[in-house]
Amino acid sequence: MAILCRPTVLVPEHVISMEQTLELARRLHPDHPRLDLVLRLVENTGVRERHLIRPIEETLRHPGFEARNAVYGQEARRRVPAAVRAALDSGGLDAREIDAIIFVSCTGFLMPSLTAWMINNLGFRNDTRQIPIAQLGCAAGGAAINRAGDFCAAYPDANVLIVACEFCSLCYQPTDHEVGTLLSNGLFGDAVAAAVVRGRGGTGIRLERNGSYLVPDTEDWISYAVKATGFHFQLDKRVPTTMALLAPALHGLAHRHGWDASELDFYIIHAGGPRILDDLRDILDVEASSFRYSRATLTEYGNIASAVVLDSLRRMFDDDALEPGARGVIAGFGPGITAETCVGTWVRAPDVPADLTPRRPRRRAVPAGTRRGVRPRR
């Protein structure tokens, strides 16, 4: 079975605090009829600070969709390589041992996908599969883990690299004044994350079963309106109540695996906001501390979209508090309304069962006529 190794998460150098966010809302929207409500909602997110790829003065300017998307491409190429190299190191692999790259992002658009640029510039083989996922929003982090697990189930000797690149600040729209949009302006942050899923060997979470679930008739609850000025984020006021609709899917997945979702050892949940975590805590009847890694991501980085589950996982890895055999769940929620969930067991390399004995996959010959990979750029 596939092993999800320690993720790497890198956040940009520009930081905006909760206090600065509230002051900006007061300055930019002094006549908003529901300003008090907006300020209260932003405060209640618990987001202490967020990281942005550009200074706040540049973030607030809108030079047009074309210019913004160009920034997306430039910054992705600048920031992704370091995350990739660190994730490969954590997984004990080099670029030529990767058989598929899953790239997830909902904050910019490139065609060909950044996977093509990565293969050409970061030392991956030319026959590496490319799996870009662009329209699952915050659920894409969970979807990437699930699709990586599926790939390794189909090809047991394979290794998969997951990359999440989310520059939410590039979706700021100065002309959008809906309460949900203004709340989002104080909630989302930027980050790049990467992780390796190994078909054999490694320390991390053994991915044992996954599932997808779509809540009927909720397509317009989380969405983009695509206009001349770019992506306009739309958030329905009913979104914070979705745990009542999604929790049964999580219970069902655990039950099919012979587990009780209320009696697991770890929970990695996409932290769209504190209300979602509070509701799920009550539905599952678990301790508030069960979601400490997800809450830490929300507090320190804000909602970093598809990178949330990878950052929460990183924090759990770094805490190093799990015993081999610990059972848990990973869940990402996003547009649709969609849930991408999986259950798995914590393993350390020496504890992997005999049929999963850690071994380095053999290097594959490069087919005649193809270009050999180049060394990663430093």
Catalytic residue selected from 5, 138, 165, 171 = 138
Average pLDDT over residues 279-292: 92
Lowest-confidence segment of 116-120, 147-151, 370-374 by average pLDDT: 370-374
pLDDT at 117 over 80: yes
> Half-sphere exposure of 58 toward its Cβ, with a 13 Å CA cutoff?
10
Q: How confident is the model at residue 372 (pLDDT cuts 50, 70, 90)?
A: very low
Q: How far is the C-alpha of 76 from the C-alpha of 12, rounded, in Å?
A: 11
Is 168 known to be catalytic?
no
- In this structure, are residues 279 and 359 in contact, taking their beta carbons and an 8 Å threshold? no
- Look up residue 188 and give its DSSP letter: B
Amino acid in the structure at residue 378: R
What's the pLDDT score for residue 365?
36
**Residue 276 CA, distance from chain mean position:** 16
- In this structure, are residues 101 and 128 in contact, taking their beta carbons and an 8 Å threshold? yes
**Residues facing residue 210 across a β-bridge:** 342
**Residue 28 CA, distance from chain mean position:** 30
* 338 closest CA partner among 257, 256, 265, 270: 270
Amino acid in the structure at residue 308: V
Q: What's the whole-model pTM score?
A: 0.89
* 221 closest CA partner among 58, 367, 360, 333: 333
What's the pLDDT score for residue 22?
94
- In this structure, are residues 250 and 341 in contact, taking their beta carbons and an 8 Å threshold? yes
Amino acid in the structure at residue 266: F
* Superfamily in which the 3-198 domain is placed by CATH: Thiolase/Chalcone synthase (3.40.47.10)
Q: In which residue are the tokens 């104080």 written?
A: 186
pLDDT at 354 over 70: no
Residues comprising the chain, all counted: 378
Domain edges within the chain: 3-198, 204-349
What's the pLDDT score for residue 350?
65
Class of domain 204-349: alpha beta
Q: In which residue are the tokens 């529901």 written?
A: 34
Q: For the segment 230-256, what is each residue's pLDDT rounded down to a tens digit?
A: 888 888 888 888 888 888 889 999 999
Crossing angle, helix 65-91 and helix 114-121, to 10 degrees? 50
Q: How confident is the model at residue 356 (pLDDT cuts 50, 70, 90)?
A: very low
pLDDT at 375 over 60: no
